[in-house]
Amino acid sequence: MTPAPLAARLSIPSGPLFFPVTAYRADGSLDLDVYRTHVRRGVEAGAAAVFACCGTGEFHALTPEEFASCVRAAVEAVDGRVPVVGGAGYGTALAVRYARLAEAAGADGLLALPPYLVVAGQEGLLRHYREIAAATDLPVIVYQRDNAVFTPDTVVALARTDGVIGFKDGVGDLDLMQRVVSAVRTEVPGGFLYFNGLPTAEQTQLAYRGIGITLYSSAVFCFLPDLALAFHRALATGDDTTAHRLLDGFYRPFVELRAQGRGYAVSLVKAGVRMTGLDVGEVRPPLHEPTEDHVRQLALLIERGHALLEEDR
């Protein structure tokens, strides 16, 4: 797949962008059969794309060999129905290695995660992501968060880089993002893509929509796909009444629960997947499982989510 077709397929998605969790057995080893089931169910539920082995998929916890196996399994489960985008991260040499593993496994694109540990200057960050983009023929989406925060000028330079098709924001600075969007629109003609990549992005998506960013990741889709689809449809059709009802009834309390534990953006989602019928195992260290009380609260929220959907029927 060339950059243009992937960008076109992502630009007006038919459903949420799906970030599957990675499935483990009780002994902590990969469970690729369960992982394929998780990915396949997501696509059948209406996902517009699968982002394999990214943040929700515990990229940080996977060996290169496990990463390659997971991306390959996602490609097999998807069977060409939607694009598969693989994560790539750590230092430049390892990020390039992961990019090439994703390409060999059949991925359609890359989500370039922040580099490991160091806080680099803009020149170094630009060089890092350009080397990732040059390493394969896969189109690249650059993920801004943590130690990889970009000036508008740097994003303009990224948008001019062959193979870089988009920019995902995990910082949440709307003033910065408005300046980024404006600078790229002014300096680089064409359809550069932007994504809201904050945890539980639905919570902030109305604000991002206000500055023209309509694409967002959905971790909730992992365990409540019908609710995530309902919210996606509400945004697409301008049905703010439904969007507000889902925000007030489910997303806000879920975000408040998620804020009660470090790493809950992954472990709480994984608990939700288990709770809704698929044993994907626990998270790997250094993440930890939610407390029993938080799991009980999650169960009540899932019930509330189903009740909200029934109100629409």
Query: pLDDT of 109-152, one tens digit each?
Result: 999 999 999 999 999 999 999 999 999 999 999 999 999 999 99
User: In the structure, what pLDDT confidence band is assigned to residue 17 with cuts at 50, 70 and 90?
Assistant: very high
CB 23 within 8 A of CB 70: no
| 56 within domain boundaries | yes
Read off the pTM.
Answer: 0.96
Task: Output the average pLDDT for the chain.
Answer: 96
Single out the catalytic residue among 143, 194, 208, 216.
Answer: 143
| 265 within domain boundaries | no
User: In the structure, what pLDDT confidence band is assigned to residue 311 with cuts at 50, 70 and 90?
Assistant: confident
**Annotation marks residue 98 as catalytic:** no
State both tokens at 297: 């609260």
Residue 193 pairs in a beta bridge with 166
Specify the CATH number for the domain of residue 60.
3.20.20.70
| 233 within domain boundaries | yes
Number of domain units in the chain: 1
State how far the Cα of 116 lies from the Cα of 121, in Å rounded to an integer.
14
Helical packing angle, 92-104 and 64-78, nearest 10° = 30
- Domain coverage including residue 82: 3-237
| 109 within domain boundaries | yes
Query: In sequence order, what DSSP letters do the residues of 159-227 get, joined into one string?
Result: HTSTTEEEEEE-S--HHHHHHHHHHHHHHS-S--EEEE-STTTHHHHHHHHHTT--EEEESGGGT-HHH
Residue 148 pairs in a beta bridge with 145
Q: Could you report the per-residue pLDDT of 210-269, keeping only the tens digit for each?
A: 999 999 999 999 999 999 999 999 999 999 999 999 999 999 999 999 999 999 999 999
User: In the structure, what pLDDT confidence band is assigned to residue 2 with cuts at 50, 70 and 90?
Assistant: very low
State how far the Cα of 169 lies from the Cα of 289, in Å rounded to an integer.
26
Residue 24 pairs in a beta bridge with 30
State the DSSP H helix or E strand holding residue 57, giving kind and residue range, or none if neither.
Answer: none
The pLDDT of residue 12 is above 90: no
Nearest Cα neighbor of 161 from 124, 130, 115, 192 is 130
| 271 within domain boundaries | no
**Annotation marks residue 168 as catalytic:** yes
Residue 274: phi, psi to the nearest 5?
-60, -40
State how far the Cα of 291 lies from the Cα of 293, in Å rounded to an integer.
5
Q: SS3 helix, strand, coil % of the chain, rounded to 5?
A: 55, 10, 35
Single out the catalytic residue among 168, 208, 251, 270.
Answer: 168
Q: Could you report the per-residue pLDDT of 32-63, keeping only the tens digit for each?
A: 999 999 999 999 999 999 999 999 999 999 99
| 33 within domain boundaries | yes
State how far the Cα of 52 lies from the Cα of 196, in Å rounded to an integer.
17
| 78 within domain boundaries | yes
User: In the structure, what pLDDT confidence band is assigned to residue 1 with cuts at 50, 70 and 90?
Assistant: very low
| 286 within domain boundaries | no
| Positive/negative CA dihedral, 143, 144, 149, 155 | positive
Residue 165: phi, psi to the nearest 5?
-115, -10
Q: What does the angle CA 181 – CA 196 – CA 7 come to, to the nearest 5 degrees?
A: 70
